[in-house]
Structure 1
Amino acid sequence: MLILDQKRLVQSKLEQLNKGEIAYAESKEIIRLVKRELNKQNFPVVYDETDSGCWFIPQHETVL
């Protein structure tokens, strides 16, 4: 079984979100770390949490 570094996983999720892509995490620890980083950066996302994991959906500002 391949074990990935948690910091690299979190960084990967943050990079996805910065590109405007949706990110998904299953591990409660990874979810906690991603949320912590998003809060530090004041990055607007919607959390869709399920029993099996959490979807992070970036929120885009609309210009009127």
Structure 2
Amino acid sequence: MLPINLRRIRDEKMNQLRKGQNAYAESEELVRLMKRAIEKEKMPVQCDETDSGYWFIPLTTSKTN
């Protein structure tokens, strides 16, 4: 069995957020990696904690003219 590469999974989920899609993480380590990457990129994301894991929801900035 192959080991799970959490950094690769983090990168895939960060790409989802960049595209404006929600991302979900269950494991504590993946959540930690995600929060660290989000903070590093200063990405506007809402993090919702549930009993089973975390939802990362990208915040969109709307411009009104």
TM exceeds 0.5? yes
Question: 1:33-48 counterparts in 2 under 5 A?
Answer: 33-48=33-48
What aligned pairs does 1:43-62 form with structure 2 within 5 A after superposition? 43-62=43-62
- Cα distance between partner residues in 2 of 1:50 and 1:63: 31
Any residues of structure 2 matched to 1:1-64 within 5 Å, and which? Answer: 3-64=3-64
The Cα shift of 1:4 comes to: 2.3
TM-score (norm 1): 0.93
- Aligned pairs, number: 64
Aligned residues: percent identity?
48
> Which aligned segments of 4 or more residues in structure 1 are displaced greater than 2 angstroms?
1-4
1 CA distance for matches of 2:2 and 2:56? 24
